Amino acid sequence: MFIILIAVTVLSSLVNGDTNIEIIRHWAGGFNGKFCVPISKELKSWKAHLKFDQPIDSVEVWLAEVTKVGDGKEYILTNKAWNGEEHVGDKLCLEFMGHIKEDIVPLGIVYLEELEPSGSTNAHTVPPLTTTPVPHTGGGSPTFHYAEALSNSILFYDAQRSGKLPANNPIKWRGDSALNDGSDVGLDLSGGWYDAGDHVKFGLPLASTTTVLLWGYLQWPDAYKSAGLTDKFFDMIKWPLDYYLKIWRPAEKELYVQIGDGQEDHHFWGRAEDMTMKRPAYKVTTSKPGSDVAGETAASLAAGSIAFKSRDPAYSQKLLSAAKSLYAFGKDYPGIYSASVTAAAGFYVSSGYKDEMCVGAVWLYKATQDKTYLTDAWGYNTNSGAPGFSWDSKTIECQIMLYGIKPSPVMQDVVEGYFRGWLPTGSMTYTPCGFAWKDQWGSTRYNANTVLAALVAADMGLQTLTYRKWGIGQMDYILGQNSKCFSYAIGFGKKYPLSPHHRSASCPDIPEPCSAANLKAKGPSPHLLVGALVGGPDATDAYTDNREDYVHNEVACDYNAGFQSALAGIVHLINTKNYPVPDPSKCPCKGS
């Protein structure tokens, strides 16, 4: 589980080796905690005693065996067979989840039996709370039913599925497609998600999408639970994760990073089910490396292993094993994938690989607590400003995650510096109606990604009220709080795009023909692509619902990723009564 330091109750260490437990997230029904105990002597094994100020129903820990003592005010954590050794100067750091019926912030301490002084009479009492938590920011009334938009986004990803569809497929106008992917290299590489309105499977934006979706879930699982979407999320996210297990071949040190030729694919307008063109498989290898796509895919696999840890332990371990070997491949054979696979360069050219390798290292550290990965992450990190947050630029994601692990004034300034550029007082372009506009290609995508990052940073205590109010204001614009009362998320609100640049949605039901004539056809597409986030307005707030306008009316997997996760963050604020009073909209919706 991905942990960010919020509502921190970190206190100074107590006498006789006691250390305070950090409660880093809480919701109705549970909380996440973390502790770090300094190691003062060589240990071959350890037992950590967690003591709380009130009974806790149960505790889950991935890296230790758990024993409940009495009524649940105390739990004993015992090392696994493989992680008992600790050395002088190290810190034993563990993260855990507690389950309890209320929404509480329990106080707690931890101590190691092995570090207790001889004859100690330490009573190990839970200390009083002496630090200030992340400020409460409630008082506002939600503008929209954000959980509905969250649910819709999952449906969009279901519509993007490639391969043999399951019996529970909710998108009835989609069928099996691209079942022979990988046949040109003698492999089954079917599955995964189509990139956008086309039918190529591009590895780097696909992996980025998956990582960002998992980040949002692991940050705010209560949002999905309260909306009744937990099972649907796992059903959705397992589709690309299963695909990654196919495309990574550790024994051969080969990662398949693209299926389909972009040029050939873009000459075809029709259903995915009707494709007849060749779909070549492209790979990175030891001689033609791709650390960017390897690091990002490893990040998805590692984050997936955390998400599935208690739900499906065997699958979780499979994901983690693949993440480790794939990350090692990216580290040992550095290089940029689009320089190795020129077929990708005309569509998703990569600017570098250190940001993706940093994110891969951080997620593996989160999944394993192996400090080697954390050391790697700091090595890949740069404290320079990030140009944005997208499928190609993960620098701010890396920096936020590292700050969450080890807060420092330097990293705080780096993270806050990114948002200073995005806020209205910074250098970002704003439309007349107050929408932060970075680029004509997917303006909503860049915006929503940064909203996600801002909400996570706010959970850490960084400019909490400012970032939450700004983030909600930007998401409200996307969802319809604008002069046109127009939502850029298809199917949400009263007015939204009806003619996205999406081949399959533009085609009538089989067996009716579909061709380029359907691209140019006037009027709504035959199928409503529910949940898809279109590219968005230009810098003047102008937008036309035109299927042929692939700049502003394209949809893509990476467009929805930050959007969906940011929605989860807003639902979490509502759940925890932290939804703030928003700033007034520059162009409020005044009717339909």
- Which residues carry out catalysis? 545, 554
**Quick one: three-class SS letters along 66-106?**
EEEECCCCEEEEEECCCCCCECCCCEEEEEEEEECCCCCCC
The token pair at 321 is: 């094993």
The token pair at 433 is: 């109606």
Q: Which of 264, 255, 272, 248 is nearest to 194 (CA)?
A: 272
Place of tokens 């700004």: 470
Question: Which residues, including other chains, have CB under 8 Å from residue 293's CB and lie 6 or more apart?
Answer: 203, 204, 207, 255, 257, 284, 337, 350, 356
Residues present in the chain in total: 592
Is the N-terminal amide bond of 117 cis, ω within 30° of 0? no
Cα 274 to Cα 300: distance, rounded to the nearest angstrom:
30
Cα 420 to Cα 435: distance, rounded to the nearest angstrom:
15
Cα 167 to Cα 469: distance, rounded to the nearest angstrom:
42
The token pair at 525 is: 């597409």
Cα 50 to Cα 126: distance, rounded to the nearest angstrom:
10
- Assign residue 72 a region (left: φ > 0; alpha: ψ between -120 and 50; beta: otherwise): left
DSSP designation for 135: P
Contact 535, 554 (CB under 8 A): yes
3-class SS shares of the chain: helix, strand, coil, % to 5: 40, 15, 45
Distance, C-alpha 293 to centroid of its chain: 16
Residue 426: count other Cβ atoms within 10 Å of its Cβ.
13
Q: Kindly report the backbone phi and psi dihedral angles of residue 243, in degrees, each rounded to the nearest multiple of 5, phi listed first.
A: -65, -40
- C-alpha separations of 146 from 28, 471, 566 in Å: 18, 13, 10
The token pair at 420 is: 């200073």
Contact 298, 255 (CB under 8 A): no
Place of tokens 């819709």: 152
Q: Kindly report the backbone phi and psi dihedral angles of residue 24, in degrees, each rounded to the nearest multiple of 5, phi listed first.
A: -110, -10
Compute the C-alpha angle 491/397/293, nearest 5°: 85
Question: Which residues, including other chains, have CB under 8 Å from residue 203's CB and lie 6 or more apart?
Answer: 247, 255, 256, 257, 258, 293, 297, 337, 344
Cα 292 to Cα 354: distance, rounded to the nearest angstrom:
7
Rounded to 10 deg, the angle between the 291-307 and 313-332 helix axes is: 160
Contact 557, 157 (CB under 8 A): yes
Amino acid at position 267, single letter: H
Place of tokens 């089954």: 188
Amino acid at position 479, single letter: L
Rounded to 10 deg, the angle between the 395-405 and 443-459 helix axes is: 10
